[in-house]
Amino acid sequence: MAAADAVGEAVAESMTGVNSTALDAMRAATQPFLSRLEGATAGAEGAAKQLEDSSAWFSWKWLALTAAACAGVLLVCWLLFRGLVWWEGSNITELREQRSALLDQIAQDQITANALEKRVHGVRFVGAKDGDFIIAPRGFEAITCVGGVQCIKLK
């Protein structure tokens, strides 16, 4: 049994050497690949970080652009509103001036109408389907005028 133990020990020792050699060979063979893989992983992580930063910057940029566009629209609306209020105000001023001028004209026309009514004693001509008539509000009297012509004296 001692021989079996010695053989087992010798095989185990040689296997340890083979195992160590194989492991060293595997490490040497995979080292360039693993180095490149680590570099690619680091590059991918850097690219992911850069993409994340760019995305955050881009979203802030769009938010600022949207806010500026909204502010611009509000400014344009406010300016349009102010312009319309000014324009309507000038129209109202014109209408007030026209109203004042018309009221002055009505007052002048009323004065003229009153003067005419005094001159003609309120007499007016009215057309109807039966003919044309002279209306004398205070009445009249038929007399003979100068030259023997019939005339109407207003009272």
The DSSP code sequence of 83-114 is HHHHHHHHHHHHHHHHHHHHHHHHHHHHHHHH
For position 6, what pLDDT does the model report? 64
For position 8, what pLDDT does the model report? 65
For position 52, what pLDDT does the model report? 83
Cα 138 to chain centroid, rounded: 70
Cα 18 to chain centroid, rounded: 82
Q: What are the E-state strand segments in the chain?
A: 124-128, 131-135, 140-144, 150-154
As a whole number of angstroms, the distance between CA 66 and CA 12 comes to 75
Q: What is the mean pLDDT of each run of 10 residues along the chain (155 residues)?
A: 64 63 74 77 82 78 87 93 86 91 94 82 80 79 78 70
Residue 122 sits at φ, ψ, to 5 deg, of 80, 5
